[in-house]
A and B are shown apart, each in its own frame.
Chain A
Amino acid sequence: MEITVTVNGTGYTRDVEPRLLLVHFLRDTLGLTGTHWGCDTSNCGVCVAWLDETPVKTCTVLAVMADGHRVRTVEDLATGDTLDPVQQGFSDRHGLQCGFCTPGMLMTARRLLDDDPDPSEATIREAISGQICRCTGYENIVRSVRAAAEIERTADQEARA
């Protein structure tokens, strides 16, 4: 069936099988391979992207369910050469190793900071608790999100000054 999904600000109309998973629509149909998949049971969270304004596990959403909606993926975070503060935070604080869980972590972190500009360690840990990382032991992910918050606060203060 024909669906139209606005992905990262661009509308895409495609003819898809109803059973096509959103993660495959993004990766295989649109070639946006930044969103990964890692399990079949919505446990691992490497497939997290935004459906409208909300982080969801795209392996457990059908592409047809996104018809008429907006999707935002990791590819939309940076503006040209300028990284989003969450990307900068992860890079500064070694918040990633193999990079496979990173896009999902970044999308959750972006949403979190939009809702809470100064999240505590406990808040960050809870926010990413549905997303598994096998490399970092989470420590530097937590630090990265805090660093991103700091980057945003500094930028805000500079903008106001």
Chain B
Amino acid sequence: MTTTDPDTGFRALDATPMGYGSMRRKEDARFVRGKGRYLDDIVLPGMLHAAILRSPHAHARIVSIDTSAAEAHPRVRAVITGETLAGLGLAWMPTLSHDVQSVLATDKVRFQGQEVAFVVAEDRYSARDALALVDVEYDPLPAVIDAQHALDADAPVIRDDQEGRTDNHIFDWEAGDAAATDDVFARADVVSSCDMLYPRSHPAPMETCGSIASMDPVSGKLTVYTTTQAPHAHRTVYALVAGLPEHKIQIISPDIGGGFGNKVGIYPGYVCAVVGSIVTGAPVKWTEDRSENLMSTSFARDYHMRGEIAATHDGKLLGVRVTVLADHGAFNGTAQPSKMPAGLFHVFSGSYDLAAAHCAVTGVYTNKAPGGVAYACSFRITEAVYLIERLVDVLAHDQGWDPAELRRTNLLRSEQFPYTTALGWEYDSGDYPRTLATALDMAGYDELRAEQKQVRSAYERGESPMLMGIGLSFFTEAVGAGPRRTMDILGLGMADGAELRIHPTGKAVLRLSCMTQGQGHQTTFAQIVAEELGISPDDIEVVQGDTDQTPFGLGTYGSRSTPVSGAATAMVARKVRDRARIVAAAMLEVSPDDLEWEKGAFRVAGDPAAAATMNEIAMAAHSDLELPDDVEGHLDATCVYNPPNLTYPCGAYVCVVDVDTATGQVKVRRFVAVDDCGVRINPMVVEGQVHGGLADGIGMALMEVMAFDTDGNHLGASFMDYLLPTAMECPSWELGETVTPSPHHPIGAKGVGESATVGSPPAVTNAVLDAIRVRHADMPLTPAAVWRAVRGTPLRTDLAIG
């Protein structure tokens, strides 16, 4: 049985479970000993080290680049510039969003921190030294920093590399039925609207991005060790970008120190490392420093939204509409299903039964780094959930309604599933009212409201500067991209392969395309096989992260591992079980139909003594046992899982904060999170995933932001300026669960990796604004922002504070 201490959560089971349960993670044996093998731990013979010279300007024309002094440095082996790359046709590379991106700048620099030159030296210190020896002359240009002015007639044109371009407009995209939505709004008794910014933030994994490229001049094989969440996608992109044959490219993703979407894309440094290796004939390692990570690699969010919500005057929600100005930076480089320029943002009707909804999204270029979809956002469902959950609270604020009651009366009911939303999504399952009720009950919602009233009285009597806030959010996630007919990356359908081989002694190896970055795949995927086949997880090796060793698949992001690769794992195990049945039938000399499966063995119906265990079956499958003519020997299988639909986990969150109105300081006192992610394979690991996401909510709502001054200087370019939550800001999380299995997933599981990151920011924001009774203020609610919000002069959080 799972041991749960009420006050201290899950503890690993003493014995390894034969399937699901809170087992200790297999990967921890190396991590707790300091024996993980991360990118920068890898040393190849003769390896060189690289560093990147970056633009100090947000927008400038490059007049000249003089590399002679750097090349004269005794330990420098190569200096690569945009000109070098242009000669190889590699100065620009395609993005994942139908655009191109500069690898090393040739004509202009378009954001501060953009890659200008790549220095390869014999050691990492010399590479850094040589950066100062590269002389670049810039002619600075006015920068486009405020997205709200990117489309002004007099705005400087950032992408003049594109012939005939006269503005900074990237795309217009819409979803939902505009006319039907307008109708609903016209009929509504009450409408609330609100402008809100989900500011630019960064995944900031503890390990930065990096790559070691090694081109074997004899075999022509390129090996790239790299921090990637999607090894197979990277291999295909390298093949397409560099024109190298795909079978001559091996991508190896070693242990990854956190990804959160930051390690999905291909960055200029990776491409330069490949070129560096080709030029020098030696392996080349490039690793980012923290500033480079924050300034240049995939940012997240940056959505300027104007939302409206319509309701009847007795509190029935009717519809939502939103216009979005999406700041995509200097190159359109979001990583998302390619047919969806706003990702999965159009699940913004949320968890409510709405008659109509519509969104119109406009993407613009600005002089900032490219990216946009990252940081555990489920392809922009963070923005969608923030929008709807803020709008519900704004409506409640405007009408004087209780936000819990407003949600409760409008949540989808369990009998409505499967439910097709006004925006076309088919939600698979859920029991939303029960999930919300569980959270409110755990939080003691009524008691909290009573306490809040008392605190406010003391405040109003002038006895205390303190106020208390209670914030709710109810989210529906949409994860497990995706059905290949609707979702692809660069034309690659989002289906995942799996290969399972049972060795003669009954041990097994499972090969997968997804890539753990701390989620515990080595453990949980072994548990899925164990549950299906009765082989201990200790006896199952899970292989990931090496394209020469694993089947094709699109990788780990968007919480898709369990929904897609997890399903593939269950399906491939069932294929093996089907084969095992035939082998067992031959062993026991009965018809396969006479066998009954009992975890780990087939038994003859009516004769329980006659049985074959998986161990015996595995050995027999490799032996001289006579098998039916159409049955191959051995015991293995492959499969490709194409998900029929996304999975739709949900959750109800309650956050309690104390706000010091005289200083603006916020203390998160409690956080109750009830998640429903269907069947839980390893409850301890699921709980850990939720914890991490809840901390993201504290970070996002209270401190994380990348703002820019009018010159385009990045004001969050180190961990002194880009603040991440510590143990002191996080409360002791209070977790609960409801379980509604996904009806279409083979084991009823739903993805959970990003649920809490998606669901928690509005809960924290709603709590702070509930405390100070302010209708809206943008994240992050730093002490200054809260103090200003109380005084009715809120800060614009994406720009420098003036």
Is A–B contact present in the complex under a CB 8 A cutoff?
yes
Q: Which residues of A contact B (CB under 8 A)?
A: 17, 19-20, 24, 27-28, 31-41, 43-44, 46, 73-75, 77-78, 83, 87, 90-94, 96-103, 106, 121, 124-126, 128-143, 146-147
Which chain B positions have C-beta within 8 A of A146?
A: 8
Secondary structure dominating the interface of B = loop
Is residue B428 contacting chain A, with contact meaning CB distance below 8 A? no
Is residue B746 contacting chain A, with contact meaning CB distance below 8 A? no
Contact between chains at B291 and A40 (CB < 8 Å) = yes
Is residue B424 contacting chain A, with contact meaning CB distance below 8 A? no
Kindly identify which residue among B10, B29, B207 contacts A100, using a CB–CB cutoff of 8 Å: B207
Kindly identify which residue among A87, A136, A142 contacts B32, using a CB–CB cutoff of 8 Å: A87
Whether A135 touches B258, Cβ cut-off 8 Å, given contacts A46-B206, A87-B32, is yes
Contact between chains at B36 and A139 (CB < 8 Å) = no
- Give the CA-CA distance A28 to B42 in the complex, in Å: 10
Whether A40 touches B32, Cβ cut-off 8 Å, given contacts A91-B25, A137-B693, A139-B733, is no
- Give the CA-CA distance A94 to B523 in the complex, in Å: 12
Closest approach, in angstroms, between the C-beta of B683 and any C-beta of chain A? 10
By beta carbon, the residue of chain B nearest A91 is B28
Stretch at the interface among B83-91, B512-520, B619-627, B647-655: B512-520
Which chain A positions have C-beta within 8 A of B10?
A: 93-94
Which chain A positions have C-beta within 8 A of B30?
A: 99
Which chain B positions have C-beta within 8 A of A130?
A: 726
Whether A137 touches B733, Cβ cut-off 8 Å, given contacts A94-B12, A94-B687, is yes
Kindly identify which residue among A19, A34, A41, A131 contacts B720, using a CB–CB cutoff of 8 Å: A41
Closest approach, in angstroms, between the C-beta of B474 and any C-beta of chain A? 20
Most buried by B among A75, A94, A141: A94
Contact between chains at B28 and A99 (CB < 8 Å) = yes
Contact between chains at B694 and A137 (CB < 8 Å) = yes
Q: Which residues of B contact A (CB under 8 A)?
A: 8-12, 24-25, 27-38, 40-41, 43, 124-125, 204-208, 255-258, 260, 289-291, 517-520, 684-685, 687-695, 718-720, 724, 726-728, 730, 732-733
Which chain B positions have C-beta within 8 A of A43?
A: 718-720
Closest approach, in angstroms, between the C-beta of B346 and any C-beta of chain A? 28
Given contacts A92-B24, A96-B28, A96-B518, 9 further A-B pairs with CB under 8 A are: A33-B34, A34-B33, A38-B207, A87-B32, A97-B520, A137-B692, A137-B693, A140-B688, A146-B8
Contact between chains at B719 and A83 (CB < 8 Å) = no
- Give the CA-CA distance A97 to B31 in the complex, in Å: 9
Contact between chains at B257 and A98 (CB < 8 Å) = yes
Which chain B positions have C-beta within 8 A of A131?
A: 726
Contact between chains at A139 and B27 (CB < 8 Å) = no
- Give the CA-CA distance A97 to B36 in the complex, in Å: 12
Contact between chains at B718 and A129 (CB < 8 Å) = no
Contact between chains at A125 and B258 (CB < 8 Å) = no
Contact between chains at B518 and A97 (CB < 8 Å) = yes
- Give the CA-CA distance A77 to B119 in the complex, in Å: 38
Which chain B positions have C-beta within 8 A of A134?
A: 204-206, 258, 260, 692, 695, 724
Which chain A positions have C-beta within 8 A of B260?
A: 134
Contact between chains at A39 and B718 (CB < 8 Å) = yes
Contact between chains at B289 and A99 (CB < 8 Å) = no
Contact between chains at B730 and A100 (CB < 8 Å) = no
Contact between chains at B518 and A132 (CB < 8 Å) = no
29 CB contacts below 8 A, A to B, read A20-B125, A34-B35, A38-B206, A38-B207, A40-B289, A40-B291, A73-B34, A77-B32, A83-B32, A90-B32, A93-B10, A94-B12, A96-B32, A98-B518, A99-B30, A99-B36, A100-B36, A100-B38, A129-B726, A129-B727, A131-B726, A132-B206, A134-B260, A135-B258, A135-B692, A136-B688, A139-B732, A139-B733, A143-B9
Most buried by A among B30, B33, B689: B33
Closest approach, in angstroms, between the C-beta of B26 and any C-beta of chain A? 10
By beta carbon, the residue of chain B nearest A49 is B34
By beta carbon, the residue of chain A nearest B35 is A34
Which chain B positions have C-beta within 8 A of A39?
A: 290, 718-719
Contact between chains at B33 and A74 (CB < 8 Å) = yes
Closest approach, in angstroms, between the C-beta of B80 and any C-beta of chain A? 24
By beta carbon, the residue of chain B nearest A106 is B32
Whether A36 touches B727, Cβ cut-off 8 Å, given contacts A99-B36, A139-B691, A146-B8, is no
Contact between chains at A91 and B32 (CB < 8 Å) = yes
Contact between chains at B688 and A91 (CB < 8 Å) = no
